[in-house]
């Protein structure tokens, strides 16, 4: 099955850009997702990208997909303290069958 | 729309007890699934359903049963609770229309098995 890996922790200063990385093993995933989880809360879908796309931009968020290296990244521009959370990448072929990474805890410092 | 709702929010069980975690969605989504979240392991798929009357196992199905008698509801049953089932459980639903899939998660149920 799919294996999805993320670095565990990232610390940035407010106003800087954050880049959260993810690698995956199963190239058959149709969609690749980024979720945000704040403490004690559920998962919030931030954005997703089709596997046939290289890049998707949505306001402060930029998703890059390198299919050759099976590498997915999420860039958050002008990071704010409200962006502090755990970020999960996930891959899936549809039907709610998602494989999640272990999550990256983003800490934004003043 | 209420979205995806889960009850209870918190539950404490003794080893060997059984219980049902409830999940409901009012968005007429075809797909529903259950995940558990454990520290350092992300979310893992327990069971999923692609429509009423159709269910299948995910990555970690042992100790859990599901059924999908209606489109709206997808309960998760713990048959005989074990401490290893202490976790946070998330229910999710989605549709897939015109190639655009959107996933919705419930707020989670925190379960402690003593």
What tens digit of pLDDT does each residue of A1-30 get? 568 889 889 999 999 999 999 998 877 777
pLDDT above 60: residue A77:
yes
CB contact under 8 Å between A96 and B59, yes or no, is: no
Instruction: Say how far apart CA A106 and CA B80 lie, in whole Å.
Output: 37
Q: Do the Cβ atoms of B26 and B3 come closer than 8 Å?
A: yes
Interface test with B, best of A42, A47, A48, A50 (most B CBs within 10 A): A42
Look at A24-28, B33-37, B52-56, B79-83 and tell me which has the smallest mean pLDDT. Answer: A24-28
Coil, strand or helix at A69: coil
**What is the per-residue pLDDT across B5-20, written as a single tens digit (0 to 9) for each?**
999 999 999 999 999 9
Instruction: Say how far apart CA B47 and CA A95 lie, in whole Å.
Output: 12
Coil, strand or helix at B95: strand
Distance from the A103 Cα atom to the nearest Cα atom in chain B, whole angstroms: 6
The average confidence (pLDDT) of chain B is 91
User: Which residue of chain A is at minimal alpha-carbon distance from B6?
Assistant: A42
CB contact under 8 Å between B45 and A103, yes or no, is: no
- B1 exposure class (CB count in 10 Å sphere: 0-12, 13-18, 19+): exposed
CB contact under 8 Å between A102 and B33, yes or no, is: no
CB contact under 8 Å between A95 and B31, yes or no, is: yes
pLDDT above 60: residue B99:
no
- A39 part of contact set with chain B, CB < 8 Å: no
Coil, strand or helix at B80: coil
Coil, strand or helix at B55: strand
| Region A50-78 average pLDDT | 93
pLDDT of residue A40: 81
Tokens of residue A92, six digits: 């899936």
* Number of alpha helices (DSSP H) and beta strands (DSSP E) in chain A: 0, 11
| Cα A48 from chain centre | 9
């Amino acid at each position: 099955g799919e294996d999805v890996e993320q670095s565990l922790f990232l610390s940035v200063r407010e106003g800087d850009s954050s880049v959260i990385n993810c690698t995956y093993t199963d190239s058959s995933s149709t969609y690749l997702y980024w979720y945000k989880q704040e403490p004690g809360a559920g998962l919030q879908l931030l954005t997703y990208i089709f596997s046939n796309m290289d890049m998707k931009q949505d306001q402060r968020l930029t998703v890059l997909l390198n299919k050759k290296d099976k590498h997915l990244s999420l860039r958050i521009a002008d990071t704010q303290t409200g962006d502090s959370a755990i970020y999960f990448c996930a891959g899936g072929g549809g039907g709610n069958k998602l494989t999640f990474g272990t999550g990256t805890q983003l800490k934004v410092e003043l | 729309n209420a979205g995806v709702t889960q009850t209870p929010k918190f539950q404490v069980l003794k080893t060997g007890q059984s219980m049902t975690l409830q999940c409901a969605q009012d968005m007429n989504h075809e797909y529903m699934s259950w995940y558990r979240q454990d520290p350092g392991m992300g979310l893992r798929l327990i069971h999923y359903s692609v429509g009423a009357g159709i269910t299948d196992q995910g990555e970690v199905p042992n100790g859990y049963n599901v059924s999908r008698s209606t489109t709206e509801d997808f309960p998760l049953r713990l048959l005989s609770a074990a401490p290893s089932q202490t976790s946070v459980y998330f229910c999710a639903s989605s549709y897939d229309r015109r190639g655009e899939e959107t996933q919705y998660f419930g707020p989670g149920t925190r379960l402690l098995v003593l």
